[in-house]
């Protein structure tokens, strides 16, 4: 939310900071719920941004900010415009840019036409929050005054200003009333054309009138020349389309494309309207890729089920759970008002491998009893009863692990709530099917297998594997210290690989374009910036994968630009956006006078784009001390091998001309500081002095000097000012001029003066490594009163790490108490969860070997992995308890349980892993996040399953009771009836 930009035309950054920014910050700092206040004070403008904690009512907060800012209007400088409070989401960025161009119309006509004919129609489309015109050349009438003519007529700029204000006025004239009628009196005092302003009388002399045309000229020109838009080397005007926070960007894009012919038809002849940039192409392609991933996952899971069960009849029992579970999940999503997006579709991909697990366990157990000689009906009852507890426990455990994600706040909760509840819903539905439909189908479809058939051969192979496994397990259980050594080694190798992982909020995605941040020297004009940008565009056009270049000049400040390099579709190029950007860096670095960075655009939204390393250095001291400190920090950071292209946002190199008033001399002649400032501002600041109306639109009237006069310091010496005397007084008699330097932009963070240190990560190094090298440097360079504050992607990752740790802890707590209630023991849950750290270690090692990192996707994978791997412990522990209740020895029981459950464990693991493999090997749009999640599941489940077969039995024999308490079995209904008949008194 921004309670500005208020502006004070002509004011330097230091004046803006002192007169505008600081009062606004002080006014809003007491509002509850504020997370951070940042501000930028530039020449003539202040921008204050207030970031609130998530989950608060934005409308109420906006009203509270307005109430705090409104009283400041009376205390701000007279020339300052009132602050404007704008409520804006962090994701409120344009999703599309439409460009308007014409070969037969100038920039003013193009801008005016787009503003009148395009913006209202686009803003009215469903889901569009705002349509903004970029590169606009808004009409204005500029009164260009000749200082020599002014002096010859004895007229000052202040006189011209006063004449315009007095004579260009639209005032009411009242009405004439009679007894029966009324007649309105209209005073035509407002001027509307340059010719009318030329004839405006500034002063009446005996015998003639001095008009503006005698002092200069009135001409139609652009209000501002601080920004521009170029598309493929041509100057254009762009319309940025910002979606509503609740709108679907894909729906908006489809609607805009459908309306494009009508919008084009509504423009005059010679105008061209086209879509220059469309970020929804990435979203649409990402969703399409996930749908393909779903199809591949279904095929892989179908294959593994048929191969391992060896019977189409048995396979049908498991496979029917896939469509039923997915249909039930879609119904649950609709009931909870979830949308079909990349995250919910990723949940569906993982669900494909999970929903068959419970059915496989049911089928395996029933088939075992059928092979032992029972009929299918009896075997279904007995097998379902034996495995029922394990199925319910695993289902509830996996569903419970996602509860904290849905309940926790922060961006993790906002982003992954739908993912968590979708996957949990799919698991619950599949568990219900496994306890109801699967036993019934087993009773009808499962039969004895042919002795020499394929299914028997598979079974004999798995039985031989199980026997060998049982012998090895029995040997290891008598040497548990070997298992302990293996666990320690696995944990060490797995978690030590963390140092090789890149730490970020989200992985870098190939979104179909590359965004460059271009910065010229702080004093650059638009003409100079355009010349420099042309050299950048020439380099970008050499990229064979490029389809266009869209450049926003003057954004985010007059001396900077953003360039979008638009790329071919993912399937039509062999290099990723990151690879193309890395190849361009040395070519762009060779362009002198520019600093060019490749920005990382967050695929999850939340605040645009930034360099990988951002640190805000706050201080209680002066900007001069802070600037010297930042220079030392940048210099020393260049020597760090892990840091590339360090830079500071605070540079005191903007030329300034200090005008000091001779107060004694000015006081004698009646010249005030206010009159001095008004004269300079009107002459040099391009300050609007009035307005005019044209075709229903309100435009500005601006006093200006000819370009040849505005570019000279000596111009100030030619100006004149009014004092007590009749004749104008030379301004040079009352002022002294001193050249100095100042800042282009002054920043505040939470009310303190600050500057931003930014850098990239050097090739071959990780972000965490760069921060580890940078932090000791902070302690060495920063002076007392200075403090570093994380910003950008690293700040989001740091903020969410607390939520991530809380979710992980709550997931373990939820599972522990869920299992404790089901097992009626606090020991058995410890046995089940003992494998979780090893599975996570295996996932971390896998990420390090596949180029992954620690981010929000891999974290969600860790949480999912804990729930998945716990299923193995439940199957072994629960069956071992059944065998011990039947009188088996503890070691003997756990060996037999592990041997018996080996086949379903292997089958369910392969189904889960193969369901996640399409995510792990994903390519194309949105592949980065899918790969992170997929490799966590693939690596963690593969390694976790292998070690669980030895660790869980070892932990079971170590901490479970030597003797199990005999559970009191409830009496059967027949026994209860007999007891009641026996106790009935005789009649």
Kindly write down the DSSP assignment for every residue of 99-128, as one continuous string.
EEEESSS-HHHHHHHIIIIIHHHHHTSTTE
CA-to-CA distance for 81 and 546, rounded, in angstroms? 43
Q: State what percent of residues in the chain have pLDDT above 90.
A: 1
| DSSP letter (8 states) at residue 192 | -
For domain 139-177+185-222+654-742, the CATH architecture is: 2-Layer Sandwich (3.30)
Residue 224 token pair: 């501002």
CA-to-CA distance for 240 and 245, rounded, in angstroms? 16
Give 641: exposed, middle or buried? Use CB within 10 Å, 0-12, 13-18, 19+. Answer: exposed
The DSSP-derived string for 621-635 is S-HHHHHHHHHHHHH
- What is the SS3 assignment for 503? strand
With vertex at residue 256, the alpha carbon angle to CA 251 and CA 262, rounded to the nearest 5 degrees, is 140
In 92-231 the beta strands, taken as DSSP E runs, fall at: 96-102, 128-134, 139-145, 172-177, 182-186, 201-205, 208-211, 216-222, 228-231
C-alpha distances out from residue 952 to 398, 814, 836, 871, 945, Å: 18, 20, 11, 11, 10
CA-to-CA distance for 238 and 110, rounded, in angstroms? 10
Given a contact cutoff of 8 angstroms between Cβ atoms, the answer to whether 397 and 816 are in contact is no
- CATH 3.30.70.1430 domain extents, the chain: 1-88, 512-600
CA-to-CA distance for 78 and 10, rounded, in angstroms? 13
Given a contact cutoff of 8 angstroms between Cβ atoms, the answer to whether 588 and 760 are in contact is no
pLDDT at 987: 46
CA-to-CA distance for 647 and 45, rounded, in angstroms? 23
User: For the whole model, what pTM was predicted?
Assistant: 0.79
CA-to-CA distance for 890 and 878, rounded, in angstroms? 13
Given a contact cutoff of 8 angstroms between Cβ atoms, the answer to whether 243 and 95 are in contact is yes
Partners of 659 in beta bridges: 737
Given a contact cutoff of 8 angstroms between Cβ atoms, the answer to whether 655 and 739 are in contact is yes
Residue 911 token pair: 């189904």
pLDDT at 473: 83
Q: Which of 745, 732, 336, 278 is nearest to 558 (CA)?
A: 745
CA-to-CA distance for 314 and 321, rounded, in angstroms? 12
Which top CATH class is 602-652+743-790? alpha beta
How many residues are recorded in the chain?
987
Contact residues for 699 (Cβ-Cβ < 8 A; gap 6+): 138, 139, 140, 141, 223, 691, 692, 693
| DSSP letter (8 states) at residue 57 | -
Residue 495: enclosing H or E segment and its boundaries?
Answer: helix 480-496
- CATH 1.20.1640.10 domain extents, the chain: 311-447, 467-500+794-961
With vertex at residue 949, the alpha carbon angle to CA 946 and CA 954, rounded to the nearest 5 degrees, is 130
Residue 754: enclosing H or E segment and its boundaries?
Answer: strand 752-761
Which top CATH class is 1-88? alpha beta
CA-to-CA distance for 189 and 819, rounded, in angstroms? 84
The DSSP-derived string for 315-333 is HHHHHTHHHHHHHHHHHHH
Given a contact cutoff of 8 angstroms between Cβ atoms, the answer to whether 531 and 481 are in contact is no
Residue 426 token pair: 């799919």
Which top CATH class is 467-500+794-961? mainly alpha
- What is the SS3 assignment for 201? strand
Pairing of strands 139-145, 697-704: parallel
CA 421 from centre of chain:
21
Given a contact cutoff of 8 angstroms between Cβ atoms, the answer to whether 245 and 95 are in contact is no
Measured in Å, how far apart are the chain's first and last C-alpha atoms? 85
| Angle between helical axes of 321-335 and 342-371 (0-180°, round to 10) | 140
- What is the SS3 assignment for 219? strand
Contact residues for 865 (Cβ-Cβ < 8 A; gap 6+): 836, 839, 840, 843, 936, 937, 940, 941, 944
Average pLDDT across each block of 10 residues of the chain; the chain has 987 residues. List them in order: 52 80 83 83 82 75 82 74 74 83 86 87 86 85 88 87 85 77 79 88 87 89 83 88 81 90 88 88 82 79 75 77 83 81 77 74 76 78 76 78 68 72 83 82 74 68 82 84 87 84 77 87 81 89 89 82 88 86 87 83 62 83 87 87 84 78 80 78 73 80 83 77 81 80 82 86 77 83 85 67 71 82 81 87 89 81 84 84 80 85 83 83 80 88 89 85 58 53 55
CA-to-CA distance for 808 and 517, rounded, in angstroms? 37
3 state SS for 391-412: HHHHHHHHHHCCHHHHHCCHHH
Residue 435 token pair: 């306890």
Which CATH number is 311-447 given?
1.20.1640.10
CATH of region 512-600, choose from 3.40.1190.20, 3.40.50.720, 3.30.70.1430, 3.40.50.300: 3.30.70.1430
CA-to-CA distance for 712 and 701, rounded, in angstroms? 23
- CATH 3.30.2090.10 domain extents, the chain: 139-177+185-222+654-742
């Amino acid at each position: 939310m921004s309670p500005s930009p208020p502006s004070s035309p002509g004011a330097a950054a230091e004046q803006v900071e002192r007169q505008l920014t600081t009062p606004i910050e002080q006014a809003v700092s007491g509002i509850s719920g504020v997370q951070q206040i940042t501000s930028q004070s530039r020449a003539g403008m202040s921008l204050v941004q207030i970031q609130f904690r998530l989950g608060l009512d934005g409308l109420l907060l906006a009203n509270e900010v307005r109430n705090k800012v409104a009283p400041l209007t009376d205390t701000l400088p007279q020339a300052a415009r009132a602050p404007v409070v704008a409520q804006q989401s962090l994701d409120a960025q344009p999703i599309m840019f439409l460009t308007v161009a014409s070969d037969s119309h100038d920039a003013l006509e193009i801008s005016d036409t787009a503003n009148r004919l395009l913006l209202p129609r686009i803003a009215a489309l469903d889901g569009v929050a705002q349509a903004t015109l970029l590169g606009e050349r808004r009409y204005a009438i500029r009164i260009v005054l000749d200082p020599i003519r002014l002096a010859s007529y004895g007229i000052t700029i202040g006189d011209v200003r006063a004449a315009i204000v007095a004579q260009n006025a639209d005032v009411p004239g009242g009405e004439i009333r009679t007894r029966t009628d009324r007649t309105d009196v209209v005073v035509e005092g407002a001027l509307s054309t340059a010719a009318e302003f030329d004839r405006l009388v500034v002063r009446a002399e005996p015998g003639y009138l001095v008009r503006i045309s005698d002092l200069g000229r009135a001409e139609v020109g652009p209000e501002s020349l601080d920004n521009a838009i170029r598309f493929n080397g041509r100057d254009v005007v762009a319309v940025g389309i910002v979606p509503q926070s609740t709108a679907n960007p894909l729906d908006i894009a489809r609607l805009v494309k459908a309306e494009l012919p009508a919008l084009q038809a509504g423009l005059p002849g010679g105008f061209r309207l086209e879509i220059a940039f469309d970020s929804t192409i990435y979203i649409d392609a990402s969703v399409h890729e996930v749908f393909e991933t779903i199809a591949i996952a279904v095929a892989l899971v179908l294959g593994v089920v048929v191969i391992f069960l060896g019977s189409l009849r048995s396979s049908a029992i498991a496979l029917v759970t896939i469509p039923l579970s997915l249909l039930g999940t879609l119904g649950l999503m609709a009931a909870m008002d979830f949308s079909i997006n990349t995250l919910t579709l990723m949940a569906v991909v993982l669900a494909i491998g999970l929903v068959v697990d419970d059915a496989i366990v049911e089928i395996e157990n029933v088939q075992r009893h059928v092979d032992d000689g029972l009929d299918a009906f009896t075997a279904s009852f007995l097998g379902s009863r034996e495995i029922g507890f394990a199925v319910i426990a695993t289902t509830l455990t996996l569903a419970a692990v996602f509860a904290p994600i849905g309940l926790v706040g922060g961006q993790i909760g906002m982003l992954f709530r739908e993912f968590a509840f979708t996957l949990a819903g799919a698991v619950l539905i599949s568990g219900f099917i496994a306890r109801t439909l699967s036993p019934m189908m087993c009773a009808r479809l499962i039969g004895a297998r042919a002795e020499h058939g394929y299914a028997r051969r598979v079974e004999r192979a798995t039985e031989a594997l199980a026997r060998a496994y049982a012998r090895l397990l029995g040997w290891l259980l008598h040497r548990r210290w070997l298992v302990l050594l293996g666990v320690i080694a696995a944990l060490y190798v797995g978690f030590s690989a963390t140092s090789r992982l890149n730490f970020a909020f989200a992985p870098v995605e190939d979104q179909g374009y590359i965004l460059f941040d271009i910065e010229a020297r702080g004093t650059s004009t638009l003409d100079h910036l355009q010349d420099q940008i042309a050299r950048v565009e020439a380099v970008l056009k050499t990229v064979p994968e490029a389809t266009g270049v869209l450049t926003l000049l003057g954004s985010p400040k007059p001396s900077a630009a953003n360039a979008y390099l638009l790329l071919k579709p993912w399937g039509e190029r062999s290099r990723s956006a990151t690879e193309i950007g890395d190849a361009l860096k040395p070519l762009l670095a060779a362009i002198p006078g520019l600093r060019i960075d490749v920005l990382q655009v967050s695929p999850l939204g939340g605040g645009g784009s930034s360099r990988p390393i951002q640190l805000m250095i706050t201080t209680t001291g002066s900007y001069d001390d802070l600037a010297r400190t930042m220079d030392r920090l940048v210099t020393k950071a260049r020597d760090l091998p892990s840091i590339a292209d360090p830079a500071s946002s605070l540079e005191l190199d903007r030329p300034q001309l200090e005008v000091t008033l001779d107060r004694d001399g000015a006081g004698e002649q009646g010249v005030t500081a206010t009159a001095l400032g008004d004269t300079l501002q009107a002459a040099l600041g391009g300050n609007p002095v009035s307005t005019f109306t044209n075709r229903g639109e309100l435009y500005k009237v601006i006093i200006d000097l000819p370009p040849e006069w505005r570019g000279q310091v000596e111009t100030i010496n030619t100006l004149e000012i009014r004092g007590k005397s009749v004749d104008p007084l030379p301004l040079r008699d009352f002022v002294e001029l001193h050249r100095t330097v100042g800042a282009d932009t002054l920043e505040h963070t939470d009310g303190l003066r600050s500057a931003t240190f930014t850098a990239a990560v050097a090739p071959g190094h990780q972000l965490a490594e760069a921060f580890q090298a940078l932090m000791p440097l902070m302690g060495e360079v920063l002076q007392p009163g200075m403090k570093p504050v994380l910003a950008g992607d690293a700040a989001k990752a740091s903020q969410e790490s607390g939520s991530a740790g809380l979710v992980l802890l709550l997931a373990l707590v939820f599972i522990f108490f869920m299992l404790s209630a089901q097992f009626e023991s606090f020991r058995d849950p410890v046995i089940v969860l003992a494998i979780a750290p090893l599975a996570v270690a295996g996932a971390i090692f896998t990420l390090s070997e596949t180029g992954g990192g620690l981010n929000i996707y891999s974290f969600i994978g860790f949480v999912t992995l804990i729930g998945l791997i716990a299923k193995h412990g439940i199957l072994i522990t629960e069956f071992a308890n059944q065998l011990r209740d039947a009188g088996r020895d503890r070691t003997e029981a756990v060996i037999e349980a592990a041997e018996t459950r080996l086949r379903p464990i292997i089958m369910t693991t392969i189904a889960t892993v193969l369901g996640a493999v399409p995510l792990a090997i994903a390519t194309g749009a949105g592949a980065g996040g899918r790969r992170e999640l997929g490799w966590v599941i693939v690596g963690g489940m593969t390694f976790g399953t292998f070690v669980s077969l030895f660790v869980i039995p070892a932990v079971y024999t170590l901490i479970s009771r030597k003797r199990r308490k005999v559970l009191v079995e409830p009496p059967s209904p027949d026994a209860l009836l007999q007891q009641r008949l026996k106790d009935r008194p005789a009649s």
